[in-house]
Amino acid sequence: MLPKTHAVSAIKNWTVMLAATFLSIEAFADFDSSVLAASDSAKIAWHQVAAPSGNVLLMRNDEGTCAIRFTSFQATGGSTPPTTFSSGDKTYTADYEWSFAVKQSSTGVQYGSGRATKGALWGIGRSAFGGGDPYIRCGPMKALWLPRASISFSDKVTCKAAVYQLAPTRWKSLSQVRLDDLEMKWFECDENRKLFYIPERDL
């Protein structure tokens, strides 16, 4: 059994580690009240892109192109102050529909739907667990979702692990997607890029 002074010191260290973990998560998500509000503009950050609310967001790599449209968003539960063992966050849930087209293939398009969640973390520092399932799955692709409707280039806080390009669109339905549209604006992860917005009319 640890002496009292050692036990107190250990708890303080765990608390600091936990706070650092949550800080990095929230900083990565650009998490504030404006993130949760519906928007009629596309959001472009260095590590994530969001289409205007209800619009299609495209994601591509060497395998093909995925079209994703978020159909609902909810924030549930009470937000409580963080403790040593819990982040105290609300639970955020987004439903989405997707279509996936294989690159240079005539096999057709796959369709599906899914749900992503981000909830409170439980535990201490690196041992924290929970937090829901914050990943978008579209055919063979898997990408990190950030509330309200952003998709990240990578689930790491660095562009070195980025594997996707992202493009917000003006389309309101998956059936409207045209991958040969030359006006689409594709973005890559860029650690030097400052946050900016693109009105829907300019997409």
* pLDDT per position as a tens digit, 129-147: 456 789 999 999 999 999 8
pLDDT at 24: 37
- pLDDT recorded at residue 119: 76
Q: Is the pTM of this model over 0.85?
A: no
Environment class of residue 49 by beta-carbon count within 10 Å: exposed (0-12), middle (13-18) or buried (19+)? Answer: buried
Distance between CA 62 and CA 168 in Å, rounded?
Answer: 19
Mean pLDDT of 187-198: 95
